[in-house]
Each structure stands twice: as C-alpha cells, then as structure tokens.
A and B are shown apart, each in its own frame.
Chain A
Amino acid sequence: MAGVTLDTVRKIYAGNVEAVKGVSLAIDDGSFCVLVGPSGCGKSTLLRMIAGLETISDGSVKIGDRVVNQIEPADRDIAMVFQNYALYPHMTVYDNMAYGLRNRGTPKDEIEKRVKEAARILAIEPFLARKPRQLSGGQRQRVAMGRAIVRKPQVFLFDEPLSNLDAKLRVQMRVEIKRLQKALGVTSIYVTHDQVEAMTLSDKLVVMSGGQIEQVGSPAEVYRRPETRFVATFIGSPPMNILPGTVEGPGRVSVGGQSIAVTDIREGLTPGTAVEVGLRPEDVQAGAAGASSLAMDVDFVEELGATQLFHGKVAGADFVVQASTGQIAADIRKLTLSVDPANVHLFDPQTTKRLGRV
C-alpha cells in the first residue's frame, strides 16, 4: 500500500496549452480521493499522468516514496479502470483478468486463484468463459474492476468509470466501488464530473477548474464551506444561488435593500463593499418577515416528488428554493424567506474567493 504525492505537477501540450497548472496534492495511504470538475478542467490529464499514460511536463509524482515520473505505467504498480472499460474484446473474461498477471510471469495456479477470488467478490463467476461483447454494461464494468483488483496494485485509478452506465446502475455500482475500496483498503484516485458521485465516494474531495485545484477537503467541508464561488456553485444540486449585495456593517449585508445577518464574514470590510451572497436552495426556509429575511417572486414550481423547487427572483437575480413537498403552497406567487446567518456564504466579486473569517 502507498500514498500518492503530487508536487507542482504541470502538463503543457504542444502549442503551449497548459492543461494542468502546477497541482500539489497529498493523498493518504488507503484513502479514496475524488477529482471532480467540469470537462476540460485537467482532472483526467492529471490522472493519466499518475498512471504514466501522459508525460509529466514539470513537477513530480510520487507513489509511496518513489518518484515515478520516468517509470513506465506497467512498473508503477497501479491499476486503472477506464470510462469505456477498455476490455480486450478478443479475450474471455478470464483471460482479460489474467492478462496482466501472465505478463508479469505469475505462476498459473496463482493466476487461477486470484482470478477466481476476484470473480467471486464481483459476482462475475458465471461469465468467466464469455467474451466482453456478450456482457451488459454493468457486467463489463465489473470485469474491468476485476482486472484491476487481481493485480493487487498499490493504487487504483478510476477514469469516470460509471459514466457509460444508466442512472440506476450507476448508483448501484457507486455503492459497490465504495464497499470494495473499503474492504481492500487500496489507495484510490477517482475522476468524475458528477458531483453526486464525488460527494458520496470520497474521503478527500478535490475540486478542479481550469487546470488548478480550487479546493481540497472532506465532502462535508467542501459543501459547508466552499472556498471559491466556483466550488460553491459546482458542488451541490441544485447549485447555490448567488445574489449581488453590499456590506452594511459588521455581520450584516444588504441584498437589494433587504438586510440579512451573516455569521461567517471577514472582519474589517468597509460598508458599501460589493459582495456576492451565496445561499443554497436547501438552506432557506419559508418564514415570516423578520430581521434576516428576503422577499422572493415565484415564477414556477418543479416537482421532484419528495421535494419541490421554487424558481423565481430575489432582488432581480434568479433564485431557487428547495422545500419538502407540501411545506409551501405550490401556487404561491410571493414568498418570504427566512435566512439562517450561519448559512450565508460571501464571495469577493473580483477574486471570487470566500470572504469568510480568517
């Protein structure tokens, strides 16, 4: 087992395109780290650099105590699960899993033992003699994972492994991956653009954008205290509402003339300073007008079953409120929202960084 350490890793493609701009990250041994971000944020490139499928332009990648920059993928002691499974179409499921072991000269009976064991864990024993094309998407995904686990590598790398599956299977496989990782205790790095997958799977969540890390933390930390406006709007569904506002005084901001209290506000902000006020749709409640409330004009309601989404405008900006079904009358046009000061996030409009206490 080994941790993974990245030190100012860069990827510069021909034409001076910088896909990864100096990423440093320490992933503890045995932990589950998820890299999440929109497409083109460099997360897959970073993963492929750890795998050895892309050269590292600058910086260093360490697996355990060993710098692997110049080491071939085969010798890095990693296994990777690809988005399109990348199974060998001409080999049976058994051969797919045995291939990596055979290449390393593992004795035949040991190969058989390990493949059988992996097949048992993943419940693919009945398919060992089949070819990948005779399997469903979910089964292929299991074979791809089986191919990774038979090798008993130091690190698992997952490159959006669930994005080709349908929604229901994705949830099921997500749980299985998590369970498997906990059982095997192998350090895992998982790339996804799906923030729900990212939240549910990770011990350590890394939010990336534009080739840089925006924030690193536990899923709860990242959700509760986003460090930038990007993280605030990327993590959480529906995304956080952002309203224009100004600082009124210590602990108070004004949104379109309505004053609300804020707990986490940087000291020493001059009154009148423009700020962006972030409120999660699930963090505001319908309530009476009071010391910390906002008026909302409701346009329409989306039904999600257990909850309803009220779309409308607050202080001229788009605003969404999520409420348990029945809590708010569905035909309401004017809504008063009470805001818990602890749930208000402030961001600098210029730097987009959080304006919280230091």
Chain B
Amino acid sequence: MEKRAHFSGWTLPLLLILPQMAITVIFFYLPASQAIWQSFLREDAFGLASEFVGLENYAALFEQPEYYRAMITTVIFSTLVAFFSLAVALLLATQADKNIRGGHAFKTLLIWPYAVAPAIAGVLWMFMFHPTLGTLGRPLNVMGFNWNPMLDGTDAMILLVLSATWKHVSYNFLFFLAGLQAIPKSVIEAGAIDGAGPVRRFWTIVFPLLSPTTFFLLVVTIVYVFFETFGIIDAVTGGGPAGQTTTLVYKVYADGRSGGDLGLSAAQSVILMVIVIALTAIQFRYVERKVQY
C-alpha cells in the first residue's frame, strides 16, 4: 500500500507542518542562535552595554581550571550514572521478563520514578540522606560513617549518582524489557537444549541480541546525564560543596545566572550544543543501522 499522502497544492502541507516548525524555531533555533551570538559578546556588569569580543570568551573559558574540573566531574558523573542505570535496569528487566506473580504491578511500579520531576526527585533524595534529618542519612552517621554530602564532595557525588540513577532506571528498564520481549522464546529454548545454563545463555545469546538497545540507551542516558540532571543537581547540592559537583551544564547556569557573565555562559552552551549534536549524529549513524545483526 502506498503510504505517502498526496497533496494537490502547497497550502495544506505548509499549514500542517507550521505548528511543528514554529515550536522548533521559537524554542530551539532562536535561543540557540542567540547563544552563539552572545558567546561573541561581553556585557558590562549592569547589563546596559555589550561589545563584540570575538573568541575571547572561549579563550577565557579554556584558561579556567574550573572548566576542566567541571569536565572531569561530568565525565565521572555520567560514567557512573550510565553504568548503574543501565546495569540496574537490565537486571530488573530480566527479572520482570520472567513469568512471576505480580509481574504486572512490578513493572508499573518501576516506571513511576520516571514521572517524578527532577527537582522533586532531588529534594526527595536530599532529605533521605540529609546528615542530621534524613531517614537514611542520620542512621549512617549514628552507625559511625562520616556521611555528609553538604561538606564532602565524594558524598555529594554519591548522592547525585543515586538520585540521577534512580530516576533514569525506569526509562532504561522499559526499553530493556521491550528488547527482551522481542527476543524469540524459542532462541532461548534452543540455547537451553544446546547446554547453556542461564548465565551463559544470558551472556552469549540475550546480551548480544540486546546490544542495539543497549547502545541506544547508552547514548540517551549520556544525553540525560549531561543535560537533564540539572534539576537534581540544583536541588541536591547546588553544584557544591565548593563546586565539586558542578557539571558542564550546571556551570553554564552558575556562570550565567549567579556569576552574571552571560558571554562566558553562552560560550559553554555552544560547546555543549556541539557535544549533543555529535552524540545525536553517532546515534543516527549506528543505531539506525542496527549494531549487532
């Protein structure tokens, strides 16, 4: 069957794509081009005048040790969150894929965290692990662990990884579950007859067949950690203590809003934009073509 629609004139098709185009232009291209333009400007302290400075903002950025530190923080943060959110989601999905009592409720409950707003998720975890008020943070200290995410950078990072992972497991879980369900049952059964135990079956049959899903989720998760964890960071640590949990995205906000240096902030946005474009390109190139088979 011919799936393409045929239009006789130009008016209707243009009208149909107009809302989508308007949204894209107003909310994506306009701010993006403004950011690019802004990254070449320097504003005075009161925001009354601005002058064109060329690449000076970029040059200043790459001279900042804080910028490199934010980069390293981002890499550590995203590696940890990507690893844990993928691993936990895969573990849960393989369990949910079995015929278990109450499996449906289990699946539904697992999806809930995805519906929680990032800032709320952050606040939730912050209270739970608050060193003196938290239902979990206080017992930790009572038990003798020196737990204080407000003072200790490592503790703060652990807390962020926990909350960001918790929130993203749902998403990865859904995709892994769908991926697992797409593997024909008879292939697994053939593996069982071929003498592979459950663990070997998983690593030699299931996992390779899931690799397109895994790769897709890896890219999506990295994008998530880079950009969407802003709300969590802002609610839990505010980039601290002493900038130790300031990621690239959080630094854009911190330099622009709090620091008032719009040009420098814009230059960082542009770099992030380049990163996300590269990630998307990788995804299109490899995921669309399927990875393994």
Contacts and interface: CB of A to CB of B under 8 A. Distances in A.
A103 B200 CA distance: 9
A259 interface: no
Contacts of B205: 88, 90
Nearest to B187: A86
A53 B293 contact: no
Interface in B165-205: 184, 186-187, 189-197, 200, 204-205
Nearest to A105: B195
Interface string A136-151: 0000000000010001
A174 interface: no
Given A86-B190, A88-B190, A103 B196 contact: yes
Given A82-B186, A131-B293, A89 B193 contact: no
Contacts of B189: 51, 53, 73, 80, 82, 86
B192 A86 contact: no
B292 interface: yes
Contacts of B103: none
Contact of A133 (B194, B197, B204, B293): B293
Given A83-B186, A86-B187, A133-B293, A99 B193 contact: no
A104 B197 CA distance: 11
Interface string A81-121: 01110111110000000011001100000000000000000
Contacts, number: 65
Given A90-B208, A90-B292, A74 B196 contact: yes
Contacts of A73: 189, 192-193
A78 interface: yes
Chain A interface residue number, banded: 20 to 34
B192 A89 contact: no
A89 B144 CA distance: 53
Contacts of B186: 82-84, 86
Interface in B115-149: none
B209 interface: yes
A152 to B, nearest CB: 13
A83 B187 CA distance: 11
B193 A88 contact: no
Which has the most chain B C-beta neighbours within 10 Å: A75, A78, A84? A84
Nearest to B99: A14
A131 B190 CA distance: 17
Contact of B192 (A53, A84, A131, A133): A53
Contacts of A104: 195
Nearest to A151: B194
Given A84-B184, A89-B209, A103 B194 contact: yes
Contacts of A74: 192-197
A88 B293 CA distance: 10
Nearest to A153: B193
A133 B205 CA distance: 16
Contacts of B195: 74-75, 100, 103-104
Contacts of B197: 74
A151 B193 CA distance: 11
A106 to B, nearest CB: 10
B194 A89 contact: no
Contacts of A133: 293
B101 to A, nearest CB: 10
A99 B194 contact: yes
Contacts of A90: 205, 208-209, 292-293
A86 to B, nearest CB: 4
A127 B91 CA distance: 36
A78 B293 contact: no
A147 B194 contact: yes
Contacts of A75: 195
Contacts of B194: 74, 99-100, 103, 147, 151
A84 B208 CA distance: 20
B208 A80 contact: no
6 contacts: A74-B192, A90-B205, A90-B293, A99-B191, A99-B196, A99-B204
Given A51-B193, A86-B190, A131-B293, 20 more contacts: A52-B192, A52-B193, A53-B193, A73-B189, A74-B193, A74-B194, A74-B196, A75-B195, A78-B193, A82-B186, A83-B186, A84-B184, A86-B184, A87-B190, A88-B191, A89-B293, A90-B205, A90-B208, A100-B194, A103-B194
